[in-house]
Structure 1
Amino acid sequence: MQKFSLLWLLVAVQLLLGCQSLMYPAQSQQGAEPATAQSGQSQGEILQCPEPVEVICAEPEVRVVEKVIERTLEKVVEVPVAKDKLVLGAVEKISIEPSGLVVESVVDTGAPTTTLRAQTLTRFERDGEDWIRIQLALPEVDGKAETSTIELPIKRHIRANRIGFPSQRRPVVEMNLTVGEVTHMVEVSLTDEGRNDIVMVLGRNFLKDAAVVDVSRRNIQGQPRVFGNK
């Protein structure tokens, strides 16, 4: 009797387990289908690639801007003034050799050549060469006018152009000119035309590399040393 009851208990347990296995798989299969469908749908959405779209970028607008920069260049001219250079005023006293005559000269940085204005000029020939006799008017002494005469060979001729006057062919000689304590031999053009109060115009051929000019002053160098005298 006891064995029979145990057998029936085992049969009841097997039946009970069999019913649960038949019931739960269906439920689990039914409950899993929606999840599977949802997961399959989501995977399809993720894995599906979008169709390629052609993107056309607009070309950038290119503008050419021309800039013109104007620069004003300032030219700075430095004039070196050495210790051994003369400082001359607008007017200086000049000693002329070989006569030893002292005259007042206008210092003109715009004149290329020094010019001597004579009272009279006389050309003549000596030893087959062209010479010239220069007669200079001296300052009056006791109301008497005196002259000084210089004779020199003509080195060459130049053409002088003057504003308001016809061009003039001038003879050129070489002279020793002294300003202060400095003596230079330079070419001097001769003329017997012009103002009588200006005997000499000191040009750049004397001033070059030798002197600088202060136009606000006069007779800075004073009385020149006469050639041959100490």
Structure 2
Amino acid sequence: MKTFDHLSVIGLREWIGLPALGIDKVRAKVDSGAKTSALHASDIETFERDGETWVRFNAHIGTPHKPHDKQCEARLISFKRVKSSNGHLQERHVIRTPMVLGDRRWWVDFTLTCRKSMRYRILLGCTAMLEGQLVINPGLRFVQGEPQPHLNPEG
């Protein structure tokens, strides 16, 4: 069997941080069947800043039983047509922001969508896993511990 030393192991659930959005720690569901990562957001509105299109939104980062919202702003990268888990085709706003997982940080694209009925407010898709050189052990959860952005300030 081949092994790859350059890959980091993650579980089906992990703590991540989105420091540029002011989010220190939130639980994410790892989903290798999803191409793009998704963030639960509402009240999405676009605006102009320095000749670029930005998006302002409420990120819902708590749990269904313990809600917590955070007002965020990020540069709009694009719009993407996505088929959601219930089969509906949606056009979503796409942002790119640094993500922290354990002691590592890299840029990840997130679509903004309503995940109100979902247990996890963030979905980590396979593109983020490829770029982060991650491999999933489905029998594990929260392998990387809490995000540690101070250990790797680049991003």
CA 1:163–1:86 in 2, change beyond 3 Å: closer, same or farther?
Answer: closer
For structure 2, the 5+ residue unaligned runs are none
Corresponding residue SS for 2:127: helix
State the aligned residue count. 150
For structure 1, the 5+ residue unaligned runs are 1-77
Distance 2:2 2:81 in 1: 30
Distance 1:145 1:110 in 2: 27
Work out the percentage of aligned pairs sharing the same amino acid: 25
Distance 1:227 1:121 in 2: 30
Q: 1:52-75: per-residue Cα shift (whole Å, max 9, x none)?
A: xxxxxxxxxxxxxxxxxxxxxxxx
Distance 1:211 1:189 in 2: 20
Deviant stretches of 4+, over 6 Å: none
Code of the residue aligned with 1:221 in structure 2: it is Q
Normalising by structure 1, report the TM-score. Answer: 0.58
Normalising by structure 2, report the TM-score. Answer: 0.82
Q: Is the 8 A contact 2:14 2:142 kept in 1?
A: yes
> Are 1:113 and 2:28 counterparts?
no
Distance 1:182 1:157 in 2: 27
Q: CA deviation at 1:208?
A: 0.9
State the superposition RMSD in angstroms: 2.6
Counterpart of 1:134 in structure 2 is 57
User: Which of residues 79, 100, 106 is equivalent to 1:157?
Assistant: 79
Larger strand share, 1 or 2: 2
Larger helix share, 1 or 2: 1
